[in-house]
Chains A and B, each alone.
Chain A
Amino acid sequence: MRRLTGPMIALALVLAACGGSSADEPAESTTTAAQSTTTEPAGGRAEPLVLYSGRNENFVQPVIDSFTAATGIEVEVRYGGTGDLATTITAEGGSTPADVFWAQDPAFIGGIARQGLLAELPSDVLGLVEPRYSDDDGRWVGITGRSRVLVYNTDLVTEDELPDSVWDLVEPEWNGRLGVAPTNGSFVAFVTGMVLIEGEERTLEWLQGIAANDPVIFDGNGPIVDAVVAGDLEAGLVNHYYLLQRIAQLGEVPARNHFFPPGDPGGLVMAAGAGVLASSDMADAAVEFIRHLLSAESQAHFLTLYEYPLVDGIGAPEGQLPLAELPTLDISLTDTADTLEPALRLIAEAGLT
């Protein structure tokens, strides 16, 4: 038995090395400045593009695969929550191994941009999308649009109970019936919007009201929607496309999306954006990737996920209002980066995180 120890250790090291990604020595890539960063046709390069994706793996993998097929550039993806990826990038600072950051919402990516960690995108890329859905300074561009909604179970919540404003949700009749995901980037973006409109004090009031109303706390939007569909939760604050995806999977379910009226903070329409890290040494390939995300083919794919393509002419998800007609909040998404810090602090103060 002990004669096997040596070979076993060797085997272990081989296995670990094989399984390890080729991005084992990320810092090395920053020293090879002489390396060409122009894209090559299919035929392959040694250096993969490193993508930090706050988007769900199953949804975005097809788009990533088509990029690799078209350009021959391999993509190494680090999946996570937009929040923890943003925290990671912030901690990594200038030595981040990431080349592209694809966020689920404008707040965290705005925070990254504010720190000067994102490079300015070329104007042709920015021109593909309406300016209001991108960063004013051109450091990130919106890829898809989504609206905040209240998803609710039709068997458990009647039509007249539906709130006209998020402020209704702090009332006693909503005690214990609402699910929220306070660490989720979209929720944070919604709160930044609220701070812009209502100010910090009022926002804190709302947050504390929710916290005191026995909310059910989740880590993400998906679990909220599943709970509502199953009837284990009555309602929740999520993004619009989750329910639509479930309906496509499961057929008819006893759940619906409720849109808040225009001007109410609960109805924020926002963009999931992507940006190129300023420290990346594969900037050209990174930009190429973002261009790919805004290509007709990719945008059409997002349509199948019930998100709103932000490139003109692709259309709206089946059965949904066109983007321009969605009730929304009239704020600059870029400005949400300014209220990010206060929003995060307020959420913590209210005891939701």
Chain B
Amino acid sequence: MTAVAPPDVVPTPKPSVQKRRRASAVLWAAAIAVTLPGAAPILHLLWTVVRPGGFDAGGISAARLLQLFGSTTLLVASVTATALVVGTTTAWLTSRSDISGRGVWSTLVSLPLVIPSYVGALAMLGSSGNGGLVSLGLSAIGLPRLGVFSGFWAAWGALSLWNFSYVHLVTTPALRRMDPSLEEAARGLGATRWRTLRDVVLPQLRPALLSSSLLVALYVISDFGAVSLLRYETFTRAIYTQFRGRLDITPALFLSGVLVAGALVLVLVEQRNRGKASLAARRPARPPERVPLLGVRRVAAYGFLTTVVIGALVLPIITLGWWAMRGLSLGNAFEPVWAEATRSTGVALAAAAATVVAALPLAILTVRHPSRQARALESVSWSTYSLPHLAVGLGFLILSIRFVPVLYQTVLLLIVAYMAMFLPQALSATQAGLRQVGPNLEEASRSLGVGALATLHRVTVPLVWKSLLAGGGLVFLTVMKELPATLLLRPTGFETLAVRVWSASSELFYTQASVAALVLIAISAVPLYLLVTRDR
């Protein structure tokens, strides 16, 4: 599912194909218009930091900043490494080994994406501590109770469990498309399986591994719900803490600005290295042979997959279900979440549609009329995508209050914010679709007397609608789960499922929280399942 990854997978065009096709002014205007909402909050944040009086850390010492930076880096590095190892292993097991039920395992291992990390953290809390499910289970068999899951290890566990699926989803198609003749050549020259893996397979996987690890790293930086619940201080959590515990918004904006600047550096570095990667776009003539796993290895493989699925999927859902049922049986009041479910679904659908439409001009510009300027524009939208949603939300908050108060606390602003943050998801998918449909078809239509917009309608869209749908599905999923920006920007009274989970759990109404969480998972499962099984 390369739709999730930053575009390092563009095949470098051959010189004869790399013709400059000038784009119309209308197309440029449209592309700039859809990129603007993403650039605005970033620029505003950076400006509030550099203007006189803005460089106000509100009393936060440089030592503390360094400490926050260190704790964040530690978490990012450890989670990314873990996700890479786990995700690559599951990808390899489900596409290259000969264990049975590969397709089912692959789906199961991808499904944890429906569980937002804060819901997973919630379930983790619920299963630990006195009275938690795991503790009850342990004490039932006579083992000592676990303490409450919190701190670094809990955060590491939670974020690894609910992010490794990205690595799996990006690496699986890369593994499937690899040409087996390279590996066969290596084996023929006497290399062992391990050496083949190391010297032949992994280098070919490099672009997939790079893009998915960047994705995971960005999610970890951005995460605010899980680290708050599990009480691990990261930079992003500190931003929220500043927002909660200060009268003046300046320290929160300052920290956001610092984080934005840092993230932009990361994005620039990634873009510079991106151009060297390449991806084989065609399926090889023969599918790669399956590696037989025998004896201990086979058992270990099943065991590994089972553990992962239980930890990432089964346990959290059971915990939530158990909470919900226990609460109901105790007669704990809870409000039905139909209103929240409707709002979440409605706004997610609207945002998905808006984002897909918005991505179209930018996709056409970058695929049909590539140029340095077009790439720069694309980078802007990827930059916004890379930033923590909390920071972007704060940017939109301040921007709307100061300049467009009529939009403040409206559903429209919320949708614009979602669109700005998640444009690249729709963009990637649309670009992939456009690349498969050559420019010749559009030129043929033009030569037959059909104008640009009509060509879009009669030729382009009918041929790429599947990619548009994939991009829209991804945006839908992400918006359903989104928490920090929604908290900041929502109209008063506009509670979504995500907000309901969060507010209920902070007030310790776990019954309410679990009910909302289960509904959120159920609704998200539909598009995820469709997306995951689409290629099979």
Quick check: do A and B touch in the complex, using CB within 8 A?
yes
Which of chain B's residues 206-237 have a Cβ closer than 8 Å to chain A? 228, 231, 233
Flag if B245 contacts A344 (CB, 8 Å): yes
Flag if B148 contacts A232 (CB, 8 Å): yes
A87 contacts partner chain B, Cβ-Cβ < 8 Å? yes
Q: Nearest Cβ in chain A — how far from B135, in angstroms?
A: 10
Chain B: residues with Cβ within 8 Å of the partner, total of 62
Separation of A188 and B350 alpha carbons in the complex (Å): 41
Which of chain A's residues 214-230 have a Cβ closer than 8 Å to chain B? 216-220, 222-223, 226-227, 230
Flag if A349 contacts B59 (CB, 8 Å): yes
B492 contacts partner chain A, Cβ-Cβ < 8 Å? yes
Could you say which of B59, B406, B494, B507 contacts A346, with CB atoms under 8 Å apart? Answer: B59
**Do A353 and B353 contact each other (CB < 8 Å), given the known contacts A2-B465, A15-B342, A346-B59?**
no
Majority SS of interface residues in chain A?
A: helix
Segment at the interface with B among A17-25, A136-144, A303-311: A17-25
B10 contacts partner chain A, Cβ-Cβ < 8 Å? no
Separation of A217 and B506 alpha carbons in the complex (Å): 14
Q: Which residue of B lies closest to A218 (CB)?
A: B231
Inter-chain contacts of B398 with A (CB < 8 A)? 91
A40 contacts partner chain B, Cβ-Cβ < 8 Å? no
A81 contacts partner chain B, Cβ-Cβ < 8 Å? yes
A90 contacts partner chain B, Cβ-Cβ < 8 Å? yes
Flag if A15 contacts B345 (CB, 8 Å): yes
What mask results when residues 371 to 414 of chain B are scored 1 for a CB within 8 Å of chain A, else 0?
A: 00000000000000000000000000110010001101111000
Separation of A121 and B411 alpha carbons in the complex (Å): 33
Q: Nearest Cβ in chain A — how far from B169, in angstroms?
A: 22
Q: Nearest Cβ in chain A — how far from B98, in angstroms?
A: 35
Inter-chain contacts of A220 with B (CB < 8 A)? 506-507
Which of chain B's residues 415-451 have a Cβ closer than 8 Å to chain A? 415
Chain A interface: which size bin?
Answer: 35 or more
Inter-chain contacts of A112 with B (CB < 8 A)? 247
Separation of A217 and B483 alpha carbons in the complex (Å): 22
Separation of A67 and B406 alpha carbons in the complex (Å): 29
Q: Nearest Cβ in chain B — how far from A94, in angstroms?
A: 10
Could you say which of B242, B410, B462 contacts A353, with CB atoms under 8 Å apart? Answer: B242
Inter-chain contacts of A83 with B (CB < 8 A)? 243-247
A351 contacts partner chain B, Cβ-Cβ < 8 Å? yes
Inter-chain contacts of A58 with B (CB < 8 A)? 333, 507, 509
Flag if A12 contacts B506 (CB, 8 Å): no
Could you say which of A16, A52, A184, A340 contacts B343, with CB atoms under 8 Å apart? Answer: A16
Flag if B493 contacts A76 (CB, 8 Å): yes
A14 contacts partner chain B, Cβ-Cβ < 8 Å? yes
B527 contacts partner chain A, Cβ-Cβ < 8 Å? no
Separation of A180 and B67 alpha carbons in the complex (Å): 20
What mask results when residues 468 to 505 of chain B are scored 1 for a CB within 8 Å of chain A, else 0?
A: 01000000000000000000000111100000000100
Flag if A8 contacts B346 (CB, 8 Å): no
**Do A19 and B347 contact each other (CB < 8 Å), given the known contacts A353-B241, A353-B242?**
yes
Flag if B493 contacts A15 (CB, 8 Å): no
Inter-chain contacts of A174 with B (CB < 8 A)? none
Flag if A79 contacts B503 (CB, 8 Å): yes
Flag if A25 contacts B347 (CB, 8 Å): no
Q: Which residue of A lies closest to B67 (CB)?
A: A351
Separation of A57 and B61 alpha carbons in the complex (Å): 36
Q: Nearest Cβ in chain A — how far from B246, in angstroms?
A: 5
Flag if B494 contacts A19 (CB, 8 Å): yes
Flag if A16 contacts B347 (CB, 8 Å): yes
Inter-chain contacts of B409 with A (CB < 8 A)? 23-24, 26, 97
Separation of A57 and B503 alpha carbons in the complex (Å): 9
Which of chain A's residues 12-47 have a Cβ closer than 8 Å to chain B? 12-21, 23-28
Flag if A20 contacts B343 (CB, 8 Å): yes
Flag if A95 contacts B242 (CB, 8 Å): no
Can you name 30 A-B residue pairings with CB atoms under 8 Å? A9-B350, A12-B345, A12-B347, A14-B346, A16-B411, A18-B342, A20-B494, A21-B492, A21-B493, A21-B494, A58-B509, A87-B243, A88-B397, A93-B401, A111-B247, A182-B241, A182-B245, A184-B245, A219-B506, A220-B507, A222-B507, A232-B129, A232-B130, A344-B59, A344-B245, A344-B246, A348-B58, A349-B59, A353-B242, A353-B246
Mark A residues whose CB is within 8 Å of B: 1-2, 5, 8-9, 11-21, 23-28, 50, 52, 56-58, 76-79, 81, 83-84, 86-88, 90-93, 95, 97, 108, 111-112, 182-184, 188, 216-220, 222-223, 226-227, 230-232, 340-341, 344-349, 351, 353
- 16 additional A-B pairs beyond A12-B346, A220-B506, A353-B241, beta carbons within 8 Å, are A8-B349, A9-B350, A12-B348, A13-B346, A15-B346, A24-B491, A25-B406, A25-B410, A27-B408, A222-B508, A230-B129, A345-B58, A345-B59, A349-B61, A351-B63, A353-B60
Mark B residues whose CB is within 8 Å of A: 58-61, 63-64, 67, 129-131, 147-148, 228, 231, 233, 238, 241-249, 251-252, 333, 339-340, 342-343, 345-350, 352-353, 397-398, 401, 405-406, 408-411, 415, 462, 465, 469, 491-494, 503, 506-509
